[in-house]
Amino acid sequence: MAKVVTLGEIMLRLSTPGHQRFVQSNSFDIVYGGGEANVAVSLANYGHEAYFVSKLPKHEIGQSAVDALRKYGVHTNFIARGGDRVGIYYLETGASMRASKVIYDRADSAIALADVKDFDFDAIFKDADWFHWSGITPAISKNGAALTKAACIAAKKHGVKVSVDLNYRKKLWTPAEAQSVMRDLMQYVDVCIGNEEDAELTLGFKPKGVDVTKGHLDLDAYKAIFKEMAETFNFEMVATSLRESFSATHNGWSVLLFDGKEFHHSKRYEINPIIDRVGGGDSFSGGLIHGLLTRKPKEAVEFAAAASALKHTIQGDFNLVSEQEVEALAGGDASGRVQR
């Protein structure tokens, strides 16, 4: 199995139970999660040595985030300890035509204020096989951007394959700010993951004929973009999930990969009901990395699609599925018959 490193922020997620609205809830369910942490958990679940790199306060809320990762087998020894805050996001889970809502309270978290010196990137990337980061990490702060660049450089120095999930967050930066940072970082990237919005906002590409709020998919448009992206940024591969949003609890789901030569479009899943769609994209990244590490692109795509479809049925940010469960779904059994 591979050594995989991810870098980013893990946040305290405070979600209302069931479908309660924020103003009516008297308790929050606690989960810890964040794009790159979610990917690390996926990879640990598939049997890899997954290392999550971040910074967390020494107090018990910081420790609880560490514990959440250790519980699922992610290595936490490269997490720097210090700072004051664990970033928070509040989540209200929608239903039917009522969308889920996220309120972020992540400014000045320990990782946003972390310094490159907090991390020994040579130790981190020694013998590593893969490094994954997302567009959120450079967006959280200048320090985050510096960390990401330092990590990318170190990864490349150690011959590590690098993937990015573009993941534009409008609350964190403007498209102009994003592009000024992200375009530069693309030089280190081998596998680029991003949906149509992210590609446009963080890299300046504009997908044609794709209206994401309508839930229609224009596969040809994607292909054109992907090919152009691969050429422009010298990406080895480009991939995205393709979400069709019918309602907060009913989506269509498939994934697309351009492997430099061919396009692979996975099976399409009808997800209804959705239990928790947060982390759906991360579960795709995790599934894709595992797929690309262990099988051919065509199979990797099916693995990634099935893994991320399954995520939508699981509470919390983490995709708590085994390789075997993903393979069973990718292999065709979506009948949901009780497994005794």
Residues 234-253 contacting a second copy, CB under 8 A: 245-250
- Is 227 in contact with 77 (CB distance < 8 Å)? no
Angstrom distance (rounded) from CA 329 to CA 314 = 15
> Which of 22, 78, 233, 263 is close enough to bind a second copy by CB under 8 A?
22
* Cis-peptide, bond into residue 57, ω within 30° of zero: no
Residue 216 contacts a second copy per CB under 8 A: no
Q: Smaller CB distance to a second copy: residue 28 or 78?
A: 28
Instruction: For the segment 109-168, give every residue that binds a second copy (CB under 8 A).
Output: none
- Candidates 26, 8, 7, 6; CA nearest to 16 is 26
Q: Is 233 in the site for a second copy (CB under 8 A)?
A: no
Q: Are 224 and 194 spatial neighbours (Cβ–Cβ below 8 Å)?
A: no
- Under rule CB under 8 A, residue 14 binds a second copy: yes
Q: Which of 245/294 has CB closer to a second copy?
A: 245
Q: ∠217-235-197 over CA atoms, to 5°? A: 35
Work out whether 324 is an interface residue with a second copy (CB under 8 A).
Answer: no
Q: Which range of residues in 89-97, 122-130, 177-185, 286-294 is near a second copy by CB under 8 A?
A: 89-97
Neighbouring-strand partners of residue 263: 258
* Partners of residue 172 on adjacent β-strands: none
Decide if residue 107 touches a second copy (CB under 8 A).
yes
The least CB distance from residue 329 to a second copy, in Å, is 6
Question: Does the footprint of a second copy cover residue 210 (CB under 8 A)?
Answer: no
88 sits near a second copy (criterion: CB under 8 A):
yes
Contact with a second copy (CB under 8 A) among 180, 232, 234, 315: 315
Q: Which is nearer to a second copy, 31 or 39 (CB)?
A: 31
Q: How far is the CB of 271 from a second copy (least distance, A)?
A: 5
Query: Computed over its alpha carbons, how large is the radius of gyration of the chain?
Result: 19
Q: How far is CA 58 from the centre of its chain?
A: 25
Q: Is 85 in the site for a second copy (CB under 8 A)?
A: yes
- Give the C-alpha separation, 164 to 6, whole Å: 10
The answer to whether the beta carbons of residues 5 and 160 sit under 8 Å apart is yes
Site for a second copy in 257-296 (CB under 8 A): 269, 271-275, 277-278
Cβ 179 to a second copy shortest distance, Å: 20
Cβ proximity to a second copy, 131 vs 269, nearer residue: 269
> For residue 73, what are the CA distances in angstroms to 49, 52, 121?
8, 11, 21
Which residues, other chains included, contact 301 with Cβ-Cβ below 8 Å and sequence gap of 6+? 239, 255, 256, 257, 264, 265, 266, 288, 291
Binding track over 170-189 against a second copy, x by CB under 8 A: xx------------------
- Rank residues 25 and 294 by Cβ distance to a second copy and give the closer one: 25
- In terms of CB distance, is 84 or 184 closer to a second copy? 84
80 contributes a contact to a second copy by CB under 8 A? no
Residues classed as catalytic:
282
Structure tokens at 243: 């979400």
CA 32 – CA 30 distance, rounded (Å): 7
